[in-house]
Structure 1
Amino acid sequence: MNLMEAEMTQLNDQELSILIAQQAGQLLLKLRDSYGDPATWDKEKATSLRKQGDRLAHEHLAAALAEHRPTDALLSEEGADNDDRLSATRLWIVDPLDGTWEYGQGRADFAVHVALWEPELKKLSACTVDLPAQGVCRAMSDAVADEPAFPTDRPVRVVASRNRPPVFLGPALEILGKTMAAAGITQHGCELIDVGSVGAKVNELVSGRAELYVHESGFYEWDVAAPYGVARHYGFIPSHVDGAEIEFNHMPPWVPSLMVSHPLIVDMARDALAEASRG
Structure 2
Amino acid sequence: MDDVLDSVPGSEPPALEKIAVEIARETAALALAVRDRVVGDLSVADLATKSSATDVVTAGDRECEALVRERLAELRPQDAVLGEEEGGDDEPEPGRLRWVVDPIDGTVNYTHGLPWFSVSLGVEVDGRALAGAVVEPVSGRVWSAAAGHGARLDARPLRASALDRPGIAVVGTGLAYDPARRERQAALIARVASSIGDIRRQGCASLDLCSVAAGWIDGFFEHGLKPWDWCAGALIAEEAGAVVRRPTGPGVPDDGWGAEATFAAGPALAGPLAELLRGAGAAGL
User: Quick check: TM above 0.5?
Assistant: yes
Decide whether the 8 Å contact of 1:94 with 1:113 is kept in 2: yes
Work out whether residues 172 and 275 of structure 1, in 8 Å CA contact, stay in contact via their aligned partners in 2. Answer: no
- AA partner of residue 16 (structure 1): I
CA distance in 1, matches of 2:209, 2:52: 29
Q: Do structure 1's residue 126 and structure 2's residue 139 form an aligned pair?
A: no
Looking at structure 1, the residues matched to 100 and 79 of structure 2 have their Cα atoms a distance apart, in angstroms, of 11
Matches within 5 A, 1:102-181: 102-119=109-126, 122-140=127-145, 142=152, 143-144=156-157, 148-150=161-163, 155-163=168-176, 164=182, 165=185, 167-174=187-194, 177=195
Determine the C-alpha separation between the residues in 2 that align with 1:273 and 1:223. Answer: 21
How far, CA to CA, are the matches of 1:84 and 1:214 in structure 2? 25
Q: Give the structure 1 partner of residue 226 of structure 2.
A: 220
Note if 1:190 corresponds to 2:197: yes
What residue is the counterpart of 1:79 in the other structure? 86
TM-score by length of structure 2 reads 0.75
- The yes-or-no answer on 1:12 pairing with 2:15 is yes
Question: Aligned residue pairs: how many?
Answer: 243
Give a deviation string over 1:203-236, Cα, whole Å, max 9, x none. Answer: 33234321111112x1211111111111111221
Amino acid corresponding to residue 48 of structure 1 in structure 2:
D
Are positions 1:264 and 2:277 aligned together? no
Q: 1:211 maps to which residue? A: 218
RMSD: 3.0
Distance 1:269 1:148, change over 3 A: closer
Q: Partner of 2:71 in structure 1? A: 64
The aligned residue for residue 238 of structure 1 is 244
Q: Alpha-carbon deviation of 1:149?
A: 4.8
Alpha-carbon distance between aligned partners in 2 of 1:59 and 1:30, rounded to the nearest angstrom:
15
**Which digits, 9 at most, give the CA deviation of each residue in 1:177-206, with x for residues without a partner?**
3xxxxxxxxxxx421122011112123323
Name the counterpart of 2:35: 32
Task: Structure 2: give runs of 5+ residues left out of the alignment.
Answer: 1-9, 146-150, 177-181, 251-258
Q: 1:167 Cα deviation (Å)? A: 4.0
Q: Which amino acid aligns with 1:235?
A: G
What's the CA shift string for 1:147-172, capped at 9, x where partnerless? 535499x9411111144336423323
Equivalent residues of 1:38, 1:106 under 8 A apart:
no
- Tell me, yes or no, if the aligned pair for 2:20 and 2:121 is still in contact at 8 Å: yes
Contact 2:163–2:269 (CA under 8 A) maintained in structure 1: no
Q: Which amino acid aligns with 1:272?
A: L
SS at match of 2:231: helix
Q: What is the rounded CA distance, in whole Å, between the counterparts of 1:170 and 1:81 in structure 2? A: 38
C-alpha displacement at 1:33, in angstroms?
Answer: 2.2
Query: Is the CA contact 2:242–2:267 (under 8 Å) kept in the aligned structure 1?
Result: yes
Q: 1:37 to 1:231 in 2, by over 3 A?
A: farther
User: Which residue number in structure 1 is paired with residue 256 of structure 2?
Assistant: none
Which deviates the most, 82-91 or 13-22?
Answer: 82-91
Specify the code of the residue in structure 2 equivalent to 1:47.
T
| TM-score scaled by length of structure 1 | 0.77
**AA matched with 2:170:** R
SS in 2 for 1:133: coil
Q: Distance in 1 between matches of 2:159 and 2:89?
A: 40
The whole-number CA distance in structure 1 between the counterparts of 2:273 and 2:164 is 16
After superposition, the C-alpha distances for 1:19-62 in whole angstroms (9 at most, x for unaligned) are 10011011111222222499952223322111000011101100
Q: Percent identity?
A: 22
